[in-house]
Amino acid sequence: MIIAVDGTLASGKGTIARGLAAHFGLPHLDTGALYRAVAVAVLSAGDDPADEALAEHAAKTLDPANIDQHAIRTAAAGAAASVVAAQPRVRQALFELQRRFAEQEGGAILDGRDIGTVVCPDADVKLFIDADPQVRAERRWRELVASGDEIQLEEIERQLAERDKRDASRETAPLMRADDAILLDTTHLSIDATLAEAVRIVKNKTGATPGS
């Protein structure tokens, strides 16, 4: 069973994907972390994330097991990730890694921005998670402040608007809801309520049970 969870930044897609993975006993891959890790690798080398050749090299040599989860969660990493994620050669390098993960025996859950449309168009269940931009900005701001990042809410709002525009307008694998993806709007829902609805959708479409 393959479950694709796509959505906008700070919509809750990662939290929902992790919750589904725990509920159904499936391995989970946060594909956004891959792009963030590529961006951090480029930045750490003192290079420009807009240099596609350097970003492609970072993607091809990326070891998912050694991703620094703290380093990839900064505002700077997120902004740079949006730049490298628009590069076709980077997306191709990471596409192969994602497909291998999805095709493992027993299935998997992947969350990102093009899982249901590009990486796993054959997924058994496709969810698209979204929320009001202001709500998403506030969620992201609280997350960054809690981790020690001194950034203003207004800056997060600006970055989020820029990120949404870049993700939706890029030529390669733009952020979009698959025709057969079920929309979950988390604007007014708690994490528990959203996860419960996601579990219900998966059960109705596949008949899957906890740990199956």
What's the total number of domains in the chain? Answer: 1
The amino acid that residue 4 corresponds to is A
Q: Is the pTM of this model over 0.85?
A: yes
- Residue 168's pLDDT band (boundaries 50, 70, 90)? confident
In a domain, residue 188? The reply is yes
Q: What is the mean pLDDT of residues 63-92?
A: 92
In a domain, residue 194? The reply is yes
In a domain, residue 211? The reply is no
- Residue 201's pLDDT band (boundaries 50, 70, 90)? very high
Instruction: Convert the chain into a string of H (helix), E (strand) and C (coil).
Output: CEEEEEECCCCCHHHHHHHHHHHHCCCEEEHHHHHHHHHHHHHHCCCCCCCHHHHHHHHHCCCHHHCCCCHHHCHHHHHHHHHHCCCHHHHHHHHHHHHHHHCCCCCEEEEECCHHHHHCCCCCEEEEEECCHHHHHHHHHHHHHHCCCCCCHHHHHHHHHHHHHHHHHCCCCCCCCCCCCEEEECCCCCHHHHHHHHHHHHHHHHCCCCCC
Residue pLDDT, tens place only, 111-136:
999 999 999 999 999 999 999 999 99
67: pLDDT strictly greater than 80: yes
| pLDDT at res. 212 | 61
37: pLDDT strictly greater than 90: yes
Domain that holds residue 17: 2-206
**Inter-CA distances, 37 with 11, 41, 55, 60, 166, Å:** 20, 6, 10, 12, 19
CATH of the domain at 35: 3.40.50.300
In a domain, residue 212? The reply is no
